[in-house]
Structure 1
Amino acid sequence: MSIPTLRDGSVTIRPIRVRDARALERELLANRSWLRQWEATNPGGPIGFDAKGSIRSLLAHARTGSGVPFVIEYAGEFAGQLNVSGMSYGSLSSASIGYWVAERFAGNSVTPTAVALATDHVFFGLGLHRMEICIRPENAASLRVVEKLGFRYEGLRRRFIHINGDWRDHFCFALTVEEIPQGVLRRWKDGRVPAGAGVVPEADRRAAATPQR
């Protein structure tokens, strides 16, 4: 699968390359405390991180058409990663997005721009129908991203993904292509995101704050 380079202002998403391994390792190390609480972990115990191996795995998924791995850049600097994964076609035609951005780039609309660019590519470039984003209830910054872009809230998933050493609840959001014929990025930039689209109901916030027994 050919992976495009997409830009809006100072934000670029481009195909990840094996030679990005050094920059990837450097940013992950520098942002360890910033990212640790949101990192996926192995329930079977810790495993080592191999940046080149991770990138090769992402590129292998791209070759099979099941993922689209991007580097996020801000003003030409390596700023983070965005991965479209779980891509399926036919009657489902769906995918999901995960991402991280280095702390020093926070507050520059880097993440919402990158997510909008990637979602528009998946909808209008690859022809998929639905995009999903799942976010931990404690991740206020990511919750602001889906609210800005108007991803529709779909529900609370209990103990959904193993994050930072335990199974964590997630709020899930989605968009379908029919909801945004003008594109995610254009709708956001034009100020036409429906009010309340990405807001989590208070009942689900309370439920997520109550540990399951």
Structure 2
Amino acid sequence: MALLDWINDATGSVVKGEGVTLRHPRASDYEAWATLRQKSHAYLQPWEPSWPEDDLTRAAFKRRLSIYARELDAGNAWPFFIFADADQGLVGAITLSNVRRGVAESGTLGYWIGQPFAGRGHATAAVRAVVGHAFDDLKLHRVEAACVPTNVASRRVLEKSGFVLEGHARAYLKINGAWADHLLFGAVNDGVGRGG
């Protein structure tokens, strides 16, 4: 029952960034999310895994929320939707996932911004805010991210947010139906290399 409470909870965690507010997704976000994803499909598809046929349906969104709730409950992931402070409209999403405790104290960052809002600084603000949350509140030591080498915009977001290029991984993730090389980036909570 706690999972359903979380899905419908109007409070939940909120993280503030420069010009953006991040909060956990809820059932009432479905229409805005589905509309933005549909409008941005051609723009996002080169950088994402292939979308399931039912990806934009309400049933698929509910499954997504259930997965988010379980991962958050277990402390494995922190999913957020990104809202522009100017009008409180949904502009994208960001997730800190694969959180590993113990000797690693690290997590992996992934994000997307809808095409109508690209190039406005929302991704950079959200990445900086989540990295700050990861380091200051969650007490992680390291945050990792990866992007396809040709995704210049995503690489720029990571560099502006204090991530350092650490390597090149061959056939790292299956993107748009094919295994794709990725550039590997990292940010470490040592006071060095944090974007500002």
Regarding TM over 0.5, the answer is yes
* Aligned partner of 2:22 among 10, 13, 16: 13
> C-alpha separation between the residues in 2 aligned to 1:32 and 1:41?
10
- CA shift at 1:41, angstroms? 3.2
Which position in structure 1 is the counterpart of 2:33?
Answer: 24
- CA shift at 1:95, angstroms? 0.0
- CA shift at 1:144, angstroms? 0.7
Q: 1:71-150 maps to which residues of 2 (within 5 A)?
A: 71-74=81-84, 75=86, 76-150=88-162
> C-alpha separation between the residues in 2 aligned to 1:8 and 1:117?
5
Runs of 4+ in 1 over 3 A off after TM superposition: none
Q: How many residues align?
A: 181
> C-alpha separation between the residues in 2 aligned to 1:95 and 1:138?
24
What is the letter of the counterpart of residue 73 of structure 2? R
Which position in structure 2 is the counterpart of 1:207?
Answer: none
* Aligned partner of 2:165 among 149, 153, 162: 153
Which position in structure 1 is the counterpart of 2:74?
Answer: 64
> C-alpha separation between the residues in 2 aligned to 1:165 and 1:110?
27
What is the letter of the counterpart of residue 68 of structure 2? L
Identity %: 30
Which runs of 5 or more residues in structure 1 are unaligned? 189-213
- CA shift at 1:149, angstroms? 1.7
Which position in structure 1 is the counterpart of 2:180?
Answer: 168
**Larger Rg, first or second structure (1 or 2):** 1
Q: Is the 8 A contact 1:137 1:170 kept in 2?
A: yes
